[in-house]
Amino acid sequence: MERSAIHQIIDTFQTSFETLKIKITDREVEHLGLLVYNAMIGNRRKFHLPEHSLLVMKDLQNPLQKLAVLFHDVVYFQVDNGYPENLKDLLEDFAEINEENEVFIIKSHFTEYDITFRLVLDIFGLRLGEKLSPFQGLNEFLSAVTAVKLLEPFLSNKNLTSIATCIEATIPFRHETKIWSFQKIEDKLNQLNEKYKLDYKPKEIEKTVKMAVEVGNADVLNFSDKNTGRFLDNTWLLIFESNNIQTNQNGYSYSIIRYREGIMRTENFIRLLNPDTIFHEYKNTPDEETFAYLRSQARSNLLIACEYLQIKLLLATILEAFAIVTGEDVPLSLFTGGVRNSQSKHHIDRVEDFLPTPEVLYPNSYCQPDVLYLLEHGRASETDFDMKNSPLSAYMYRCLGSQRCNEIVEKARDLFNEKIYYYEFLDFIDKPIISILAKACAKMATTRAKGLSKYF
């Protein structure tokens, strides 16, 4: 038996305060737990849910680390399309949204004399009146503000500083070198210790920085998962969460273009991500062997994920082209059929039911075994909005091979950059595979069969 997320969050607050020997009533603990839980269950969230925070803290021991993790994702502005409703009154006191709903100005009229708020500003290296965006640490900053202001009645300024420092360390993929980045945090804490009379001892500052490194690494630990299928699970959830592509504007299943755009953005991010910016080390935390493993496994996962996403992107672009040359954008399921998984009560027709035996067009071509396995057998987990395996993508990958697929993906980039038209993209692809895919899609999208017949 396992307690639900809401109970685990309340339990974590309770045990953390007990460990810190802080007196707090059950009603106050419940209030904090419900605030955190309710802030993280927005309709668009698929990955940054309460369960993610509970997973991040699983191997962390210090109660200040656990409190930091509970709060570190309470604000996710671009996903929630604003502040969490239950934190709106609190946050509007500290950051102002402009008319474009993108730039945030840190208020200065009454916060100038707010010591704990100034502490958070200094930890994040920000100034009163400064403009921010969701892509410059805004979510982590406002999550830290939330933590500090809600915990202020119970904790010392020193402990609040440690919590805010741990949350600051969850800003991901920064370009600083591992030494400079966290040495900079140590230097900053030394300055704040003197400025705000925090009563840190030298060894306590070093311990706080190590705690922050552990929290930051735990937040992105999935990048080092030995099971690439589990790593892709989270990647897939982030695609749908970040792009809000579960449904289209008409309330039907997500459109092909929205789906392709989400995959394209994620593929571009994964392809350009420097694996050396994911995990950090500070004074042998983590130890040399562990740190080397984390970076190596992350590099391996990124390589596999990049090719996997490119194959998914290629198929999505072909389906998008089919839709546009025969009419207009439509729900993806019109061409592919509904989601078929272990929860399906009835057999649902799928486009892959109409595929012939794969014909290898390039006999000497190579398919990356891990990528082919993931396409054929699926990521680690099922969702209710997409299948975990990709039989149509796997079919195409087997027929064309890695090199030819990569060539077509590059042609797709020309399409995205408006250098070619949809029909030119389809004409670039090997006619046998386009014919097979067009015939199979015509069996599903019967209203588009006449338009697709030109590719038979």
State which amino acid sits at residue 210: K
Give counts: helices (H), strands (E), the chain. Answer: 20, 3
Of 209, 74, 82, 79, nearest in space to 142 by CA: 74
Q: Which residues partner with 96 through β-bridges?
A: 105
The pLDDT score that the predictor gives to residue 415 is 97
CB atoms within 10 A of CB 366: 9
CA 324, CA 330: separation in Å to the nearest integer?
9
Per the CB < 8 A criterion, the answer to whether 414 and 394 are in contact is no
The pLDDT score that the predictor gives to residue 452 is 98
Tracing tokens 């209203």 back to the chain, one arrives at 447
CA 215, CA 71: separation in Å to the nearest integer?
12
Structure tokens at 135: 């892509």
The pLDDT score that the predictor gives to residue 443 is 96
Q: Which residues contact 356 (CB under 8 A, 6 or more apart)?
A: 436
List, for the chain, all residue ranges whose pLDDT scores fall below the cut of 70. Answer: 99-102, 110-112, 175-180, 244-253, 340-346, 380-387
Per the CB < 8 A criterion, the answer to whether 131 and 122 are in contact is no
Per the CB < 8 A criterion, the answer to whether 434 and 453 are in contact is no
Look at the alpha carbons of 119, 120, 124, 128 in this order and tell me if their dihedral is positive or negative: negative
The pLDDT score that the predictor gives to residue 280 is 93
The pLDDT score that the predictor gives to residue 46 is 87
pTM of the entire structure? 0.91
Please state, in angstroms and as integers, the Cα–Cα distance from residue 407 to each residue in 22, 311, 373, following that order: 61, 11, 21
